[in-house]
Amino acid sequence: MGARAKPAEGAMTLAEMKEFAGFSAATQRYIRRSLDIGLEREDAMLRWSRDVVEAASIRAQAHIYERLQEVRAMIPDDSDLDSIEPFLSPLVAIAAFDLSQGRLTSFSAFRFLYERLIGAEVRPWLPSAFCAAAALPHLHPDLRRKLLQSISEAAATASGWSNRQPSFYPAWVEKVDSAALPN
């Protein structure tokens, strides 16, 4: 039975890779940077900082991402209002930061990042966190409009979500001299 699952896993990984490839270069860069910070994969400052403005943004992002551990631990099992507030409040704050950076310009890019930062268990909560963060007044009205129009009716009203963990985690890839590759 294990052998039968592998082609499906490969197909899902390929679908995730294709989805990532469909994002703009700026969105892809921001997702990789965010994963490095949120999953503590690399020294994000060394890898991603191109100037003092970006260095300040990375420091701010690292500071706000300190709450990810707390969010991961508090994902509600149900929609009990007492468990939603302590979870959704920090999730919306983190999402508001990411959306304010202007690199996640659609719900699909937001969902792609957050499924990897937090895990598949967060999927039911992503539409509400996205809509709440996208509607906050600190965003330019044009960006708010673009973000809120990017969430499909199907995503906003889904009756169920997959609990399959993502399998593709994009990372930095060093340029390789093609002359050094084996034939």
Q: pLDDT digits over 52-105, tens only?
A: 999 999 999 999 999 999 999 999 987 778 888 899 999 999 999 999 999 999
pLDDT higher than 60, residue 3: no
Residue 74: per-residue pLDDT: 93
Tell me whether residue 113 is exposed, middle or buried, using C-beta atoms within 10 angstroms of its C-beta: 0 to 12, 13 to 18, 19 or more: buried
pLDDT in tens, 19-47: 999 999 999 999 999 999 999 988 888 88
Nearest partner of 109 among 128, 130, 88, judged by Cα: 130
Given this model, what pLDDT does residue 178 score?
A: 52
pTM over 0.95: no
Distance between CA atoms of residues 116 and 122, nearest Å: 10
Q: With cut-offs at 50, 70 and 90, classify the pLDDT of residue 109.
A: very high
The string of DSSP letters for 31-79 reads HHHHHHHHTT-S-HHHHH--SHHHHHHHHHHHHHHTTHHHHHHT--SS-
Query: What pLDDT does 2 receive?
Result: 46
pLDDT at 106: 97
Confidence at residue 1, expressed as pLDDT on a 0 to 100 scale = 41
Whether 161 and 123 have beta carbons less than 8 Å apart is answered as: yes
Q: What share of the chain is helix, strand, coil (3-state, %, to 5)?
A: 65, 0, 35
113-151 pLDDT tens trace: 999 999 999 999 999 999 999 999 999 999 999 999 999
